[in-house]
Structure 1
Amino acid sequence: MVTGKTAGPRASRARAMLAPLGTALAAGAAVAFVGAVDPNEPGHYPTCPFLALTGLYCPGCGGLRAVHALVHGDPATAVGLNPVVVVMIPVLAVFWAYWALRSWRGGPPIGKSVRPVYVWLFLALMIVFWIVRNLPFGEFLAP
């Protein structure tokens, strides 16, 4: 019999897990697509607009090919294409697990717990990577 009461803790936990699980599903589908459709073959993906306009590599250049290499079990090639993407995959997995756990426990959103200094540090590192991979001594970072 249904009364006018709100849903129990089980239903609210399930509802709280929708966003983390939906994100994991979308990320898994994207990785499966990149693993199935080879970015090394021309015409499958658009060219990087920054590379097309400037001739310089952006921080994401080589990322799709790195993910493709990881899906096919070639981490050395993936690191050669974009080391930041390879490093960020486990970092993002940890953040996702933390988000899922906080959602399950009913805690505040994860954005409330990330200190701004970490965001600024990440952005600074990305800018340094972006610059260095386009300089002659950083050629080894180019895809």
Structure 2
Amino acid sequence: MSGENQQVDASRTPDAAPTPVPVPVPPAAPAERPSRVRRLAVPALYLAGAVAAFGYVGAVDPNEPGHYPVCPLFRLTGVLCPGCGGLRSAHAFAHGDLVTAFGANALAVVGYFVFAGFMTLWLVRAYRGGPTPKFVLRPRYWWPIGALALVFVIVRNLSFGSALAP
């Protein structure tokens, strides 16, 4: 027996794994489009939150002391941050006074219009059933935005940029 060729039947060994049988996958059912009300719910909630915030700031005047906390950076250093004057700007904006709003914080007013444009785009697309706009800024866009905010802070804290100070 030592010199004979022995063939082992693999089907009879207990260690042999059965060959897998492919299982047919049923085709996916077409996804149902959500109703117009469901598509509009999320952007409408964001818009309702922004309107509520502007409503509150419009009703409670930030020009009167004691209603809102003072900016900690301004209180400790006397330096105006990019947000200083933002509440006064929002108050004036809520009352329709764009000149005063721009004088309180020009960067905030630009932000209000960017937000309004984004919300309009989102609501129109949700109403029509289009894709949700993705508001994801790549790092290459954050650098110019940060540089703009830094220039805004520097200029509004210098004597020649006093028009940008609240």
- Give the TM bin, normalised by the shorter chain: 0.7 to 0.9
Out of 73, 83, 90, the residue aligned to residue 67 of structure 1 is: 90
The answer to whether structure 1 residue 30 and structure 2 residue 53 are counterparts is: yes
Say if 1:51 and 1:58, in contact at 8 Å, map to a contact too: yes
**Is 2:142 the counterpart of 1:85?**
no
After TM superposition, give the deviation of residue 81 of structure 1 in Å: 0.9
Q: Which residue of 2 aligns with 1:119?
A: 142
Overall identity of the aligned pairs, in % = 50
Q: What is the rounded CA distance, in whole Å, between the counterparts of 1:94 and 1:39 in structure 2?
A: 26
Please give the per-residue CA displacement for 1:88-125, whole angstroms capped at 9, x wherever unaligned. 2122111112233444535255135x554333322221
Which piece of structure 1 moves more, 33-42 or 67-76? Answer: 67-76
Does residue 133 of the first structure (1) align with residue 156 of the second (2)?
A: yes
- Deviating beyond 4 angstroms after TM superposition, the runs of 4 or more aligned structure 1 residues are 5-8
Q: What's the CA shift for 1:70?
A: 2.0
132-141 or 93-102, which moves further after superposition?
A: 93-102
Aligned partner of 1:16 in structure 2 is: 39
Alpha-carbon distance, 1:22 to partner: 0.8
Which of 15-24 and 61-70 deviates more?
Answer: 15-24
Q: Distance in 1 between matches of 2:102 and 2:60?
A: 20
Partner residue of 2:121? 98
C-alpha deviation, 1:57, in angstroms: 0.5
> Tell me, which stretches of 5 or more residues in structure 1 are unaligned?
none
Residue 110 of structure 1 aligns with which residue?
Answer: 134
Equivalents in 2 of 1:140, 1:133: separation in Å?
A: 7
Distance in 2, Cα, partners of 1:120 & 1:100: 29
Deviation at 1:7, TM superposition (A): 8.5
SS at match of 2:81: coil
Number of matched pairs: 137
Richer in helix (by share): 1
Structure 1, residues 64-89: CA drift from partner, whole Å, max 9, x if none? 11111122232221111111112221
Q: Over alpha carbons, which structure has the higher Rg?
A: 2
**Paired residue secondary structure (1:9):** coil
Q: Distance in 1 between matches of 2:145 and 2:126?
A: 24
Matched residue SS, 1:27: helix
Deviates more, 1:33-42 or 1:98-107: 98-107
Cα distance in 1 between the residues matched to 2:79 and 2:56:
26
